[in-house]
Amino acid sequence: MRIDIHSHFFPALSRDVAHAIDPERAAWLQIESSGNAGQIMVGDQPFRPVYRALWDPDFRVQELDAQNIDIQVVCSTPVLFGYCWDVGKANDWAQRLNDEAVQFCSAHPTRLKALSQVPLQNLKLACAEASRAQKMGCVGVQIGNHVADKDLDHPDMVDFLIHCADEHIPVFIHPWDMMGGSDRMQQWMLPWLVAMPAETQLGMLSLILSGALERIPEHAKICFAHGGGSFAYLLGRVDNAWKHRDIVRQNCPRLPSEYAHRLYTDGAVFNEEALRMLVGVMGEERVMLGSDYPFPLGEQQIGQLIDGAAFNAEQKAKLLYQNAQQFFAL
């Protein structure tokens, strides 16, 4: 069995629907007449070329069949978050996207499972929408790693994670709105190759070094995308800083690496040595198959890295599906 916990979808939102929300920043889907390819648009500017699997659940399941994937967890593409809007618009938008996600998965309910999104800029509405979506059939919620200047250690973000823990809602955290500004890292996909892993590490360390994980219940299920970014590789640097600088440990009562067992990641690292290090740092019960399908930076043959890695059969079973079954209660 194989469960892919990190994939994206994008409903066939029209230009009119998006422009009614925000004519400059709302994303929509421009589908070619063939129906096989398209373009994500932001306002009236092309954002990313895409293909049919992103919006067609029947076509997607055909591809999953070809790749021997039994279940895939889908979440909206982060460009759809809507965190920059006023809370009323953002809440309406999140509700629409969650209804679309449930509808998308309803075509193949045993194969596709949805994560919700929330208006994370407002704690009360975010909590309410996460709970509503869970009751509709979502298996968890996807959030970005920050909202404007509020990182995951902000009291509102921590309270949202506590709400999800109390409601037994798994949380999948995806980097977005990457650091670097308008004049840096604009070529060669560097925002995705450099800033995105850094954003993920920033989110994980924000929870650890702030002491937030001392407040969030132990049973909380919190997973970070893209193998935790640069977290595993640089955790030794963080431990060393904690040992020798009091400003690093002032809010963090334990060695940072001791908190790794509180968090999960997907295994989308594309290199066996990196995967083995990730499993060694996080624990073999805390890493799950994740592809980032159906985008070019995702794993093109889903599960190939785990299949070919030097793990025993029991470990591979955990990485390929057992950990995901436990995390999402599938």
pLDDT tens sequence for the chain (330 residues): 999 999 999 999 999 999 999 999 999 999 999 999 999 999 999 999 999 999 999 999 999 999 999 999 999 999 999 999 999 999 999 999 999 999 999 999 999 999 999 999 999 999 999 999 999 999 999 999 999 999 999 999 999 999 999 999 999 999 988 777 777 877 888 888 898 899 999 999 999 999 999 999 999 999 999 999 999 999 999 999 999 999 999 999 999 999 999 999 999 999 999 999 999 999 999 999 999 999 988 999 999 999 999 999 999 999 999 999 999 999
The pLDDT score that the predictor gives to residue 176 is 87
Beta bridge partners of 265: 224, 287
Q: What angle do the packed helices 272-282 and 231-244 form, to 10 degrees?
A: 50
Q: Which two tokens stand for residue 134?
A: 């869970």
Q: What angle do the packed helices 123-136 and 155-166 form, to 10 degrees?
A: 30
- 229 sits in the region (left: phi over 0; alpha: psi -120 to 50; else beta) called left
Q: Which two tokens stand for residue 39?
A: 């373009």
CA 183: distance to chain centroid? 26
Q: State the first-to-last Cα distance of the chain, in angstroms, to the nearest integer.
A: 12
Query: How does 238-253 read in b/e, with b if 16+ C-beta sit within 10 Å?
Result: beeebeeeeebbeebe
Q: Note whether 5 and 290 are within 8 A (CB).
A: yes
The pLDDT score that the predictor gives to residue 187 is 85
**Most distant pair of Cα atoms in the chain: their distance:** 61
Q: Is 49 helix (H, G, I), strand (E, B) or coil?
A: strand
The pLDDT score that the predictor gives to residue 319 is 98
Q: What is the pTM of this model?
A: 0.96
The verdict on whether omega for the bond into residue 49 sits within 30 degrees of 0, i.e. cis, is no
Q: Which two tokens stand for residue 37?
A: 């390819």
The pLDDT score that the predictor gives to residue 62 is 98
